[in-house]
Structure 1
């Protein structure tokens, strides 16, 4: 099982890396097709080192630790209470209990007929 998970992880990593390389190659092809270097046309994945600070951008969107913290806080607030999720859980419980009750009644009725 561990070998399988390791193989899946390696395969997914290789495929992700291949997608990023393909996007970078497509970007270089677009630059060659245009015939000049357009500063608006950026690479798929860029890492810049500005005076000791490392900044990453994916598809032109800057990725910073503050952005990740804000998104984490938003996810925590969203997961705090979700009205539709609560209704869905209650509906699932009602349906599950109803089906169990109906099955118990049918099995009791069938066992009564077979005796």
Structure 2
């Protein structure tokens, strides 16, 4: 029996995510930030939800997507901007994941693609 090929996640229709960059600098101050998928970012570059919740890593984002109201989600995801995608691109320096999540229109869809991406990264 032939070995199974690893599947990569499929992106939402119409997505063309840019290639991942490797530079890891904080948005403010140009100090280097050591960011991994599962470690906390420094408090000063964490994601502050409009309800006061502070997110410091991508697993916390996943958990928050399950718990937040649609009002909170749509405060941060609008037709002209996606704050979650921007945070992932600017702080976590992951263009591919940011591109995928920028196309998501619901909490469930965003969490689905976020978790699939994180699982794929764990397998590497």
Q: Where is the strand percentage greater, Structure 1 or Structure 2? A: 1
User: TM-score over 0.5 for the alignment?
Assistant: no
Q: Which has the higher contact order (CA 8 A, sep 6+)?
A: 2
TM-score calculated relative to the size of structure 1: 0.21
TM-score calculated relative to the size of structure 2: 0.20
